[in-house]
Structure 1
Amino acid sequence: MNNTLIKGLGVVELLAHSARPLGLTEIAAHMGLAKSNVHRLLQALTDMNYVIRDASGTGYSPSIKLWELGSAVLARLDLRRHAEAWMDQLMHTSGESVHLSVLDGGEVVYVHKIDSPNPVRAYTQIGGRALAHCVATGKAMLAFQPEAALQRMSAALVPSTPNSIVDPAQFLQEMAKVRKQGYAVNRGEWRETVCGVAAPISDGNGQVIAAVGLSGPAERFRPQRIKGFAELVRGSAAEISDSLGGGSRHGALALAARGMATLRRG
């Protein structure tokens, strides 16, 4: 593997996640590299327009080129295009924020979201990440991973809040429950005051490739409403799966109808 390329990408990632420009010394300290090495990397990245220097000439930031590349990739993600209409409907029906996530190792990456109009809502960022075992969309995808992978993961779980599931046996039991009921619930496991409900999305081969979910303040996610939300996200996930070549359209419509009825009773 090309070490120079790896180090260069590490610098780009560091700058992309920094809230402010970073100087040569700071970057070298973060990366554990000699300043001369970092200087050469920055020079190459600047020449390629991936990094820019600030007016003082001492700070470095990612350039707009990274945004352009990211936008080009997102524009080609059929998943977002297929999911957006159903996500919008889900937000209007539930009144809560809707997220579309994919799995990356032990984390979820939020690839799309539609915010709730409520002034008090759950805040996330497209491109943001969260521990998969602590959020509903992550659980919805993890549950359909191979059993051997879940066994390995269960031995290395870390908490985000006191509510996070980190006991191996409890985690495996939770995964079995998600598989059985077809949806996952986050009960303040990533942020103590935020709850969520999500369901898996499958491709034309029946493989789980993403998840769609609702999230919001815990006080709005009481047990009866969670039941209604669960039916809604299962219905939306089935519709999105159907648009990708999998799932059952009629089953999804029935789920959505039952979900709306439950919400009205709640």
Structure 2
Amino acid sequence: MDIKNLTATFQPHASTHESPGKDSRTSVDKAMAVLKAFGDDANIGVGVSELSRRAELSKSTTFRLLGMLERNDMIERIGTAYRFGTAIQALGAQSIDSRKHDEVRDLLTPYLADLFVATHLTVQLATLDGRHVIYLNKLEGHQRLRSPSRIGGRMPAYCTAVGKIFMALDPIAAQAVITAERHPWTPNTIVDDHELRTELARVRKEGIAHDRGEALETLSCIAAPVLNRRGLPIAALSVSGTTDTFRAHEHEHTLRQVAFAASRMMARYEERAA
């Protein structure tokens, strides 16, 4: 996406918050500097301090600009980090392997609906792209959640239940994530190598992954894999709820059943297509 094309969103005016002589850039220039500062982390999230450093702005100015950008849906706040918002996403949605993603979404959305009917909670369908998960579909529960996920959006694999599913069952995916830099989205995020490997071993053993407030402190989630006919994860289904009321064990059996049924369907579909 060409950030320069976004300049039309803002009306230029001289900054009233910067001391003359220190920075001759207008507010538009500074807003553009903040957007450009996201770089490759645009869909993942960057903290205020890091954005301030990259944009060569004071932290207070960066925070003020982020507030303005957030009010215009150009960026959104996820925990202590910021990422590109719905307005920018609408200008140029990413289409990496979009045909395959569309196929998986269309095939598995009926099972996502089954999961929703059984739980009445927020349910999600996701797949993996590199070190990040992409949410292919999402059905909101009766009690709407504050959540970092959105349809077509991305999150780092290591701090999500759906991401842990792929990491646990796909050694290549796990290696790609573990060897990359990770930052704590919340105090609960597992960033230590040993702890993360231990967590993934548990997921492999139990077949269920947990997000215990690791992407957002107020959100908890469980996920299970949808496997292809070779036994590799092609997608993951999840159930989410508020951390203080979500009882994962009450939904594990249903999640396993739906994911197993979805896996059997995918295996039959692949056999017919072969």
TM over 0.5, shorter chain = yes
Q: Give the count of matched residue pairs.
A: 201
Identical-pair percentage: 28
TM-score by length of 1: 0.64
Q: State the 1:81 CA deviation.
A: 1.9
**Aligned partner of 1:129: which letter?**
R
Q: State the 1:30 CA deviation.
A: 2.3
Native 8 Å contact 1:203 1:246 kept in 2: no
Spell out, residue by residue over 1:110-146, the C-alpha distance to the aligned partner (whole angstroms, 9 max, x if none). Answer: 1111111224564631011112111111111111121
Q: Name 2:233's counterpart in structure 1.
A: 208
**Runs of 5+ consecutive residues of structure 2 not aligned to the other structure:** 13-27, 39-86, 270-274
Secondary structure in 1 matching 2:183 = coil
Query: Which of 186, 209, 214 in structure 1 is aligned with 2:211?
Result: 186
Q: Is 2:157 aligned against 1:132?
A: yes
- Counting only pairs closer than 5 Å after superposition, residues 141-220 of structure 1 correspond to structure 2 as 141-146=166-171, 150-151=174-175, 153-155=177-179, 156-220=181-245
Secondary structure in 2 matching 1:220 = coil
Distance of 1:19 and 1:179 partners within structure 2: 47
Distance of 1:76 and 1:209 partners within structure 2: 10
Distance of 1:28 and 1:181 partners within structure 2: 43
Distance of 2:4 and 2:127 partners within structure 1: 23
Q: State the 1:15 CA deviation.
A: 7.5
Q: State the 1:95 CA deviation.
A: 1.7
How has the CA–CA distance of structure 1 residues 203 and 20 changed in structure 2, closer, same or farther, with 3 Å as cutoff? farther
Distance of 2:89 and 2:177 partners within structure 1: 36
Native 8 Å contact 1:212 1:237 kept in 2: yes
Secondary structure in 1 matching 2:238 = strand
Secondary structure in 2 matching 1:159 = coil
**Runs of 5+ consecutive residues of structure 1 not aligned to the other structure:** 1-9, 33-60, 248-266
Q: Name 2:9's counterpart in structure 1.
A: 21
Native 8 Å contact 1:140 1:184 kept in 2: yes
Distance of 2:203 and 2:34 partners within structure 1: 44
Q: State the 1:207 CA deviation.
A: 1.7
C-alpha root-mean-square deviation of aligned residues, in Å?
3.6
Spell out, residue by residue over 1:172-227, the C-alpha distance to the aligned partner (whole angstroms, 9 max, x if none). Answer: 00001000100101000000000000011111222212111011211221xxx311
